[in-house]
Structure 1
Amino acid sequence: MDDNSKRFLANQLLWIGIYFGIAIVVGIFLDFPISLIVIIAIIIPLSLYRRRQIMKRMGGQQGTGSFFGGIRGGGGGGMFGSKGGLSYYCISCGTKHNQAECPKCGSRMKRAAFDS
């Protein structure tokens, strides 16, 4: 296992420990229905904060207004950082098209690629 994998695994285990620690401490001090609500009220914002930090580290866009970071298409970048749409290329002849079969050779096999 390389250094990055070890660091990633250690980070994930640390956060799992933090989540379990929060759940145990809240569960000890509060009764069941209230503890569940409090745990959810703590864990969800903490997870969203973690996600924002990870996206910032990865160079993701901030302030897109979408909960999922603009993954739904909209052309504004989003998760994959592409400004264009999705294009399909025929595997047999390489023709770019958006149809069920290639207009040039009639093949139904195609590969997807993001426009830049």
Structure 2
Amino acid sequence: MIDNNKQFLSQQLLWIGISLGISLAISFLLPFPLSLPVIIVVFILLSYYIRNRAMKKMGMAGSVFGGNGSSVSYYCMSCGTKHNQSSCPKCGSKMKRVGS
């Protein structure tokens, strides 16, 4: 557990250093009014990349916004019919539970 915490902390510090270095490089290369929006966009894109990388490492394939495309299946609590609708097509009940 301690090794995982140290690895997590070292990766976070690495990404903070990378983002700080990129921000400083942009601020030295571009004048102030232009550098600020560019730094913000680069920071957002870098955060998105880090999040996608972490999601893939945890086994959650797909995008942060869109998921992996798998649909949710519901099971009717009254009759047990598997469906993907708001109410059961067989008995009309709205009581349902989520299944895989």
TM-score bucket (shorter structure): 0.5 to 0.7
Aligned match of 1:96: none
Map 1:48-63 → 2, pairs under 5 A: 48-62=48-62
Aligned match of 2:89: none
The reply to whether residue 67 of structure 1 matches residue 65 of structure 2 is yes
Identity %: 45
Aligned match of 1:29: 29
Greater helix fraction, Structure 1 or Structure 2: 2
Deviation at 1:76, TM superposition (A): 3.5
Residue deviations 1:32-85 (CA, integer Å, cap 9, x gap): 11001111222222211111111011111315xx62648xxxx846xxxxx66x
Structure 2 unpaired stretches of 5+? 75-96
Q: 2:19 touches 2:46 (CA, 8 Å); kept in 1?
A: no
Runs of 4+ in 1 over 4 A off after TM superposition: none
Q: CA RMSD in A?
A: 2.8
Aligned match of 2:88: none
**SS of match in other structure, 1:61:** coil
Aligned match of 1:10: 10
User: Would you say how many aligned residue pairs link Structure 1 and Structure 2?
Assistant: 77
The alpha-carbon distance between structure 1 residues 16 and 62, as it changes in their structure 2 partners (threshold 3 A), is same
- TM-score, normalising length: structure 2: 0.61
Q: In structure 1, what is the Cα distance between the partners aligned to 2:15 and 2:62? A: 23
Map 1:32-47 → 2, pairs under 5 A: 32-47=32-47
Aligned match of 2:86: none
